[in-house]
Structure 1
Amino acid sequence: MGLQCCFGGTAIQTLKLAAIPASSSSSCLILKPISKTLTFNFFPRHGNHNPQRFPFSLIARVRALSTAPAADRILAKEVAKPQWKATIDFKWIRENKDEVARNIKNRSSNANLELVLELYEKLLALQKEVERLRGERNVVANKMKGKLEPSERQKLIEEGKNLKEGLTTLEEDLLELTDELQQEAQCIPNMTHPDVPIGDEKCSTVRKMVGNPHEFSFPVKDHLQLGKELDLFDFDSAAEVSGSKFYYLKNEAVMLEMALINWTLSEVMKRGFTPLTTPEIVRSSVVEKCGFQPRGDNTQRLLWVGFIWTLSFLSRCCL
């Protein structure tokens, strides 16, 4: 979805919102008045320009299209039914409980191992009960194949009916329990190699060095320092929006990236390719199979944008 942002009759930038499938059916952009003001730094970089202030907070709320009806929306506190089922060795998890728990802790996962094991034990017990009723029902069905007195046949019919009703209820419970177990178990992370260091990036170890580092006769500056000095990166504004370790490209860095993209497009077009832009929509089951496990409300995607002090957030289409 594209939205043209205008202030005082002047078009500033087109804000594009990319929707991700959830269980809603609308997309909306809200401009909410606030007491503070936002400063937008207008481009171009070179030349005189005066920052302008506008008394509003930009709040972008994205809801994606879905075929699910409104009545079937999943509440945050309910257990969402998994759209696919991974092959999980629950027996191995139970036999290696301590190792799995240690791996969950080392990977800072919020998986609930105790709940998984508890649900697994309930599943085994329920499966045994279902198999028992199925066996009894088969026995009754075999008895009815022979010659019986009307009273005895009627008795077997009633017994078979009761067994069928009980089996139907247990099978429904078994299906719900299976879905709940699968949902919880898929949060357990894969086991890491014993040699993997525990901790953040500072704990990483060098496994192999290839070649020799270049030696310079002057103080060397890395890309971070060069980018800051040349005003090519903006870490502070990005950190306010997306958290630490995010960045915005600025000025010539943006132009360089766009030039590389345009060059690539022109090269592939020479070879008969047709450029297309499409909606950024993904099936939630595909995302789930890729290992993405959302830790919050999965019914909608909310992007809150406020107290941003540069126009770069809008101009680079961060959403």
Structure 2
Amino acid sequence: MIDPVLLRENPDVLRQSQAARGDSVDLVDAALSADAARRAAIGEYENLRASQNAFGKKVAQAAKEEKKALVAEAQSLAAEVKAASQRASDAEAEFTTIVRQIANPIIDGVPAGGEDDFVTLREVGERPSFDFEPKDHVELGETLGIFDLARGAKVSGARFYYLTGIGARLELALMTLALDRAEKNDFVPLIVPTLVRPEIMAGTGFLGEHSDEIYYLPADDLYLTGTSEVALAGFHSDEILDLEGGSKRYAGWSTCYRREAGSGGKDTRGILRVHQFNKLEMFSYVLPENAENEHLALVSFQEQMMQDLGLSYRVIDTAAGDLGSSAARKYDIEAWIPTQDAYRELTSTSNCTTFQARRLETRYRTESGKTAPVATLNGTLATTRWIVAILETHQQADGSVIVPEVLRPYLNGVERIEPK
């Protein structure tokens, strides 16, 4: 949720953000009107309530013969107070409905536009070249016994798969490496719930225009999460945090579920875009003034993983129209996939400023003793999709794949995956 003070005092910031995102600018004016109506209704209710309290004292002090007439007047006033309370509640609900449709205002410098309007910040590493015809990750995965797509489809349908043999070990190695790195950087490991209540899913901003991407269990009124960000954001909901150290960091390991309803048939081959996968997600609660520095720190942790895995990649500043509603800025890291002759996203990290915390009532205590919303950030540190880049980048002419050195201790020293 946006800051109502920002809405009242600097609505042009929100108008410009909405325009950059390609979202409705009229929502800002509608929210201003609803806010004015809400405040007026609350003021009316409070004035009537004060009058009621004062009148109650008058009735208590009145002579016996006067009380009968005064009680009737008090009852009339009570009815007015009740009606005013309902008007205030209705106005509050109307304001909340409108203001929740306004996305988090973007940070200065975020490029305007849509999916193709990102800005490349840097390219790192030499793109792999081969003196043989490289295989794609599907052929490599099947000949190396890393995954089984046919049986995944037989059991669960399209975009499901089995990780098999060394493939299962490879994913666990990748995730465990990331978890070790996270712990060294003060992230507390969590294995999180993957079913959450509607208020937690809504609080993170995932029940907006992309809600059709989410699996919902109506019999239980629970949502399957597409990222552990949701459970991590809910971890401290309705709490006041001690942020004297500047931040609280968590690393959430979970299975993730996505319907991919809006993918339009993209990447149906292989394990690049699937319905179920594993992911280790970094999540930070920080003081708002520290959020941008924390964002850069999360990117640096991701880049170190990319470099140590020997992957060529680029870092992009995602355009406003390609941000989720809760992100004020998002950096993606895309690895080079040789057989696609293209960069493909492996990680993203978002600065959600105070947007999620306002919805979830996650606060800290300021020096004045008052409470204020914290800032939240999230970023991927490992996921199943990374196997695609590892296989294609490190493949050899004989069909084998060299295991990146940093993963070998987690694979009992295996240096090369050989064809079955």
TM-score (norm 1): 0.48
Larger-gyration structure (1/2): 1
